[in-house]
Structure 1
C-alpha cells in the first residue's frame, strides 16, 4: 500500500518537474538575449551571485554532513536554503545579462573583441575558462530535474529513491556551484 502511495505522489509531481526542467532553461535562454533599454547596467551583481554560488556549495557540504550525522531537520532546512540560493542566483544572473553586455574572457582593453595579442596574453587559460564555463552551463541545465526529483522524493517521504538520486544530484550540484565561483574569479579581471 505504501509503495502505491509513493508512486502516486511521484506521478503527481512528475508533470511539474518536467515542465520546470524545460521552461526554466528556455526562459533563461530567451531572457539572456533580451536587453532592457535605458536601464543602468547591474554591474554590481556578478560578485553577489558568485558569492551565492559559493554559499550554495558550503550549504550543500554542510547538508551532506548533517544527513550523515542523522540530523534530518538541519539537512532539510539546509537543502531548502540551497534551492532558494540557486533561485536567487538565477534571478540575479538573468537580471545582470538583461542590463549588461557579456564580458569576454581575456578582453584586456574592454572593446568586446578578443584580438590576437589578448589571446596570446591569456594563453591556455582561455581554453580552461571555456571548458569550465561550458561544463558549468551544461550541468546547470542538467541539474534542474535532478534537484527537483530529489526534493520531491524527500517531501513525499520516498526516502530510498531520494537517497539513490541524491548520490547523483549532490556531486553535480556541488560542481555547478563551485564552477560558478571559478568562472566568476576567472572572468572578473575583464569586467568593465
Structure 2
C-alpha cells in the first residue's frame, strides 16, 4: 500500500467536500437555466463532442484503474484515478460551457427509443448529481491512506461513476443527431 499524502482531518475534509459539492451542483443547476447568445465563431456543440470524448476517456480510465488495483499496482491505480478526476473536472468546465452557449436540445427520437433515451438520461442526471462527494470522499480516504474506508467507499463510488461516465457518452450519441435542429 502507498503512504498517506495528506494528514487526516475528517472535519475539514467534510466541510471542504461539502462546499465543493454544493457549489458545483448549484452552478450546474443555475447555469442550466441561463443561455448566452454569443457567437463564439464555432459550433458550440463542439463542447458536447469534447464532453463525450472526455467521458469516454474517463470510462476507460475507470476500468484501467480497477484492473490496476486488482493487480495490486497501487501506484499505477493512483495515477489513473487522479487522471480520471482531472478529466472529470475538465468535463465539468466543458459541460457548463456547452449548456451556457448552446442551451437545451430536444430529443427527436420516436417509438421505443424515446423512453429508453429518457430512462438513460434521467438515471444519468440523478447519479451525476450525487457522485461528486462520493468521488471526493473516496479520494480523500486514499490520500490519507485509510485503505479499508477507501475500499468500502470505492465499491459504491466506482460503479456509479462508471455508469455516469458511460451513459454520458450514450446520451451524447443519442442526442447529437438533433443538435442541427437546435
Q: TM-score, normalised by structure 2?
A: 0.90
DSSP 3-state at the match of 2:9: helix
Alignment of 1:35-184 (within 5 A): 35-40=35-40, 42-106=44-108, 122-184=110-172
User: Aligned-pair distance for 1:7?
Assistant: 10
Which whole-Å CA distance do the structure 2 matches of 1:187 and 1:35 have between them? 19
Contact 1:10 1:153 in 2 (8 A): no
Contact 1:10 1:152 in 2 (8 A): no
How many residues are paired up? 173
DSSP 3-state at the match of 1:133: helix
Structure 2 partner of 1:23: 23
Which whole-Å CA distance do the structure 2 matches of 1:7 and 1:18 have between them? 18
Structure 2 partner of 1:114: none
- Larger-Rg structure: 1
Runs of 4+ in 1 over 3 A off after TM superposition: none
Which whole-Å CA distance do the structure 1 matches of 2:161 and 2:171 have between them? 15
Tell me the C-alpha RMSD between the 2 structures.
Answer: 1.6
Structure 1 unpaired stretches of 5+: 1-5, 107-120
Q: TM-score, normalised by structure 1?
A: 0.85
User: Aligned-pair distance for 1:8?
Assistant: 5.0
Which whole-Å CA distance do the structure 2 matches of 1:91 and 1:74 have between them? 26
